[in-house]
Amino acid sequence: MNESQKVAVVTGAGSGIGRAVARKLLEEGWNVALAGRRREPLEATAAGSRESALPVVADVASADAVERLFAQVRDRWGRVDVLFNNAGRFGPSGDVGEISPDDWDEVVAVNLTGSFLCAAAAFRAMKAQRPQGGRIINNGSVSAHSPRPKSVAYTATKHAITGLTKSIELDGRPYGITCGQIDIGNTRTEIMDTLGVSQGALQADGSRRAEPTFPVEEAANAVFLMASLPPSATVGSMLITASGMPLVGRG
């Protein structure tokens, strides 16, 4: 491995924001581990970058799977410079009285526990490696600021990601490990199609309204900016949305 090449782990790399970020890092000459639950999408993300891409099938909600993921990264490249904690799911739409405990547990397992497990594994690797240090970037959401209707499980986990981010940032200071959060609103991905954002997303007053979106590549550029900063600087929090998105004043 070229010692000047940085090493990143991207979870949820088989689609959406994770795929766009992974491809951006690969284009910029990084070595990137692509983590996700299905091999075929990961292989598609890695296409054309075989030497610098490492697709790994891993369920972030499984502690054993996460440990195996980071062990493979260390075996391949010897260190971890950046973790983009991106894997997540929106879960079923419903108010707090309609979401089943099983649905709640599934969303929390991926969005929150998965982020914790990956951050913990990355933290241990960054603390042990020489030179010591690294950067963890958590993918929050505009729902960490203001929820959409009928999104209680998703919104609760994204608010929790903010606490996770701040705690990791404090814990990492003695070891040169930084942690920041990017909150992305209405970038053009599969989940936006699921929510019907372009056609008519559910609003707080019960109406539906078409909302603007922006290219996922721009979200990837923002993550790359955070990832590529020198160790002397960090972005603690970044909010990037489609221009004109009804976030300010939502409700």
- Please identify every residue annotated as catalytic: 154
Classify residue 61 as left (phi > 0), alpha (psi -120 to 50) or beta: alpha
What amino acid occupies position 222? A
User: Rounded to 5 degrees, what are φ and ψ at 88?
Assistant: -170, 170
**Whole-angstrom Cα distance, residue 185 to residue 183?**
7
